Amino acid sequence: MKIIDGKAISMAIREEIAAEVAEMKEKPGLAVVIVGDDPASKVYVRNKHKACEDTGIYSEVHELPADTSQEKLLSLIDKLNADEKINGILVQLPLPKGLSEDEVIARIDPKKDVDAFSASNVGHIMLGDPVFLPCTPAGVMELLKRSGIEVKGKNCVVVGRSNIVGKPMAMLLLKADGTVTICHSKTRNLAEITAKADILVVAIGRAKFITADMVSEGAVVIDVGMNRDENNKLCGDVDFASVSEKASYITPVPGGVGPMTITMLLKNTITAFRLQRGELQ
């Protein structure tokens, strides 16, 4: 069994990104917007800002109080859409209750939508010709590629159907010629389906949900989960202790998919910069 070291792979890619940015006369810029004080979101936003600083990408963080009105948030998006220093805009989700995520996402200029959450960017992903790659799924694909794992013809099972991970993950695996099944909380005989996976990607947000009996010998297991276990320790959606005995490759939590998501965001910010300068079609 091999542990896929997402931290090391991500650092190697960040070095490539830093070298690319160092060559650029003007630097790409990212605006991150956080509303309220969800502790997990705050950590993610801090890590995104730090990753930008480390690679030479300009970044600004806009922290708004939890009681911010929809109008105020939308007017900040308008301002960032018009700001030439800013190539990418990311609004950290989830938003506090009472704010419409759909409306906020729809307001971001699709050319600055580095999360690839807007309808047009999701459409491009669905058509198999993405402008921006969805960050977490793209991070998973990069982990597979850099670990020498081929997707073509493999049985790929995605557990979870969120707009952020499950759905776009299925599209990227399909584009890579995988045979893709999407499972979710209403799936019958889930364990029978996951046990047929050559590549199993889990993003359901339930601590240690996937146990060894649900995984076939030699499977590649990618854990997108980020939960707290009974001892308040970070853990994934996969029971690492037992599943790692059967898997050929497995990602740990933390240090697996997480760092890759941010690395792919940096790549998208560079893509946004080039797109806005007419360097890409």
Residues 237 and 134: their CA atoms lie apart, in Å, by 20
**76 touches ligand GUN by CB under 6 A:** no
List the x/- string, 251-280, binding to ligand GUN by CB under 6 A. ----------x-------------------
* Contact (Cβ atoms closer than 8 angstroms) between residue 253 and residue 240: yes
Rounded to the nearest whole angstrom, what is the least distance from the CB of residue 245 to ligand GUN in the complex?
Answer: 30
Active-site residue (options: 5, 113, 115, 239): 115
**226 touches ligand GUN by CB under 6 A:** no
| Residue 115 appears among annotated catalytic residues | yes
- How distant is the alpha carbon of residue 70 from its chain centre? 25
- Using CB atoms within 10 Å of the CB of residue 147, give its burial: 0 to 12 exposed, 13 to 18 middle, 19+ buried: middle
| Residue 70 appears among annotated catalytic residues | no
| Residue 7 appears among annotated catalytic residues | no
**92 touches ligand GUN by CB under 6 A:** yes
Residues 173 and 181: their CA atoms lie apart, in Å, by 10
**74 touches ligand GUN by CB under 6 A:** no
* Contact (Cβ atoms closer than 8 angstroms) between residue 201 and residue 157: yes
Q: Which stretch binds ligand GUN (CB under 6 A): 15-23, 91-99, 203-211, 250-258?
A: 91-99
SS3 (DSSP) at 41: helix
SS3 string, 81-108, reads HHCCCCCEEEECCCCCCCCCHHHHHHHC
- Using CB atoms within 10 Å of the CB of residue 241, give its burial: 0 to 12 exposed, 13 to 18 middle, 19+ buried: exposed
Residues touching ligand GUN, count (CB under 6 A):
9
List the x/- string, 154-193, binding to ligand GUN by CB under 6 A. ----------x-----------------------------
- Catalytic residues, by residue number, are 48, 92, 115
Q: Which residues would be at the binding site for ligand GUN (CB under 6 A)? A: 90-93, 115, 135-136, 164, 261
